[in-house]
Amino acid sequence: MKSSRHSRHVTSKWKKNAVLMQSSKLRAYLPETRRFSKEHLSNMLMKHKMVYVKPVNGTWGNGVMRAEYRPHQRQGSYQFQLEKIVRSYGSIDELYASIKKHKFRGSYLIQQGIDLLKYDQRRFDLRVMVQRTPQKVWTTTGIIGRLAHPKKIVTNYHSDGKLVAAEKLLTPYLKGPRLKSYMSTLQDFGEDIADHLKITFPGLREIGVDVAIDQKLRPWILEVNTSPDPFIFRKLKDKSIFRTIMKYARAYGKYK
């Protein structure tokens, strides 16, 4: 699956997921992902009880829906949420028809839902920024937390999410040396992902990995962005992180 030298930006979530699945090491950290269809929606909901339905080429969390199967609910065992609105249905047929009606044009995928950690009753995930140095080595240059709006399902800053230091969000779960060691593991995780993707996409210079952390503190690869927004790191108190990110971005020609 070799791609052109110019593959600096890969938009298809499906394509990136397929490449990551080829790694026996990384495969274990990928939520189950299927193409959007009624059969897959039904099977995935029976198996996982909660899934995310996403545009294959979407950005900033636009068009993302969260669907759930709650067999013990009296009114409507099936529900999905888009933006702040939750809709309930009595059957998978009704749920599927409604999701189809509300989705954007273009292809969608269904991803196993991860029960995210929360901070202040709000779900969060992490963005891990990995860049290629002038020495052609991948290095993790920043990790930032993204706290979801209390009434929304996506954590993106562009969808009213809040940017917070990752350490702050993880402190209720990990302290001292354990937190430090966990952050270091996340850095290695990001670099492993970049190393694997660059084999297929040799033009890559940077990636932003969206990492979900479940209740057992297991990291999951939600998505890999090949043109990540560096400016979110300006929100961190430690200004040296943003300076480093920009230094590398300029070195590979992203900014003049």
pLDDT at 102 over 90: no
Alpha-carbon gap, residue 7 to 96, rounded angstroms: 35
- Per-residue model confidence (pLDDT) at position 23: 95
- Per-residue model confidence (pLDDT) at position 207: 97
Alpha-carbon gap, residue 160 to 162, rounded angstroms: 7
- Per-residue model confidence (pLDDT) at position 10: 84
Closest CA to 14 of 132, 82, 81, 107: 107
pLDDT digits (tens, 9 = 90+) for 151-196: 666 666 566 779 999 999 999 999 999 999 999 999 999 999 999 9
| Mean pLDDT for the chain overall | 89
> 62 Cβ partners below 8 Å, 6+ apart?
55, 104, 159
pLDDT at 5 over 60: no
- Per-residue model confidence (pLDDT) at position 156: 63
Alpha carbon 191 to its chain centroid, in Å, reads: 16
Specify the higher pLDDT residue, 124 or 60. 124
pLDDT at 2 over 60: no
pLDDT at 9 over 80: yes
Q: What is the mean pLDDT of residues 119-126?
A: 93
